[in-house]
Structure 1
Amino acid sequence: MTKQEFLYALETALSEELNDIQVNEQINYYRQYIEEQIASGRSESEVLEELGDARIIAHNIIDGIEEEGNAYRRTTVTYTTGDEGDEADLTWKAKAKMYGTIAIIIAVVVLVLALVTRLIIWMLPAIIVIAVVLWIFSKRRDGR
């Protein structure tokens, strides 16, 4: 994908939801960002790979504007480099959902550990008896 193809895809996706001024401002921002990165020595393909899918960027921009109650202000997407590629910062809703999921997983793990621990404690006398019996049989077998 070239810079022009990326910008066209971004413009097309943004045009479905935003007015011309908003679309032009975002297109100019991304055009300038790409040009600055190329001027700093990076290749066009590296920059475009970092940015990712123009439709996803457009979706994030539109969501950001809608969260502002349709009171438009310049939306900036920040990218961070990770092992599995570059990704946009998460919105507060996505973070809340992610943290909620993590909290549920931790609660389930703690519950399972508590149940397993109680089960082991409840079965501990039987485990000790079985271990002693097996130890006695092994000693008798070794003695023969």
Structure 2
Amino acid sequence: MTKREFLDKLKKALVNDLSGSVIQENVNYYNDYITEEVRKGRRESDVIEELGDPWAIAKNIITSEEMKGNTQESYDSYEPGRRRENSYEQDYGSESGYRGAHVFGLDTWWKKLVLILGIIGIVVLVVAVVGGIISLLAPIFVPLLIVCLIIKLINGRRR
């Protein structure tokens, strides 16, 4: 796979879940990384193979952005020769715990499916409750209704 193919697949994997600026930032990061490694003498194909599947990378980026609430930068500025440090303390705080709030969004297919199944479940529950109430009251109201109709028919014939 070439650098262009890798970056195109990465961009395609990110396009439905992230904003354009976050996508461009991540594509630029990997473009710069591959370029710098090739400049150091490594083969482009080896660098891309080492990075792995762009779809798996995209999944990690999307998960990271969801945890951040899409409010923070997704990567520190790229500096050649410097490896990215673990930014756990930056993202979560060392003592105070997670500082952001996660907002539930319908941004993936499985979340939409869960919502649809939940709505169907509520509709089925309402129908079951209403049907249960009707089945409990029917033995009382049906005979009462028949008696009322008979009385009305009898009173109608007397006039």
TM-score by length of 2: 0.46
Q: Which residue of 2 aligns with 1:67?
A: 67
Q: Distance in 1 between matches of 2:50 and 2:68?
A: 26
User: Does residue 28 of structure 1 match 2:25?
Assistant: no
Q: Distance in 2 between matches of 1:38 and 1:16?
A: 30
Q: Distance in 2 between matches of 1:72 and 1:48?
A: 27
The aligned length equals 78
Letter in 2 for 1:9: K
Kindly name which structure, 1 or 2, has the bigger radius of gyration based on alpha carbons.
Answer: 2
1:32-87 Cα offsets, whole Å, 9 max, x none, are 000000000000010001000000001000100101123232236xxxxxxxxxxx
Q: Which residue of 1 aligns with 2:16?
A: 16
* Contact 1:65/1:75 (8 A) holds in 2: no
Q: Distance in 1 between matches of 2:51 and 2:75?
A: 15
Q: Distance in 2 between matches of 1:16 and 1:47?
A: 26
* Contact 1:3/1:48 (8 A) holds in 2: yes
Q: Distance in 1 between matches of 2:74 and 2:68?
A: 11
* Contact 1:61/1:75 (8 A) holds in 2: no
- Unpaired segments ≥5 residues, structure 1: 77-88, 92-144
Q: Distance in 1 between matches of 2:52 and 2:45?
A: 10
Q: Distance in 2 between matches of 1:61 and 1:9?
A: 14
Comparing both structures, which one devotes a greater share of its residues to strand?
A: 1
Percent identity, aligned pairs only, is 45
Q: Distance in 2 between matches of 1:11 and 1:62?
A: 12
RMSD of aligned Cα (Å): 1.7
Letter in 2 for 1:38: V
Q: Distance in 2 between matches of 1:72 and 1:63?
A: 13
Letter in 2 for 1:22: V
Q: Distance in 2 between matches of 1:26 and 1:74?
A: 7
Comparing both structures, which one devotes a greater share of its residues to helix?
A: 1
Output aligned runs, 1:57-136, within 5 Å. Answer: 57-75=57-75
Q: Distance in 2 between matches of 1:22 and 1:31?
A: 14
TM-score by length of 1: 0.51
Q: Distance in 1 between matches of 2:70 and 2:25?
A: 16
Q: Which residue of 1 aligns with 2:131?
A: none
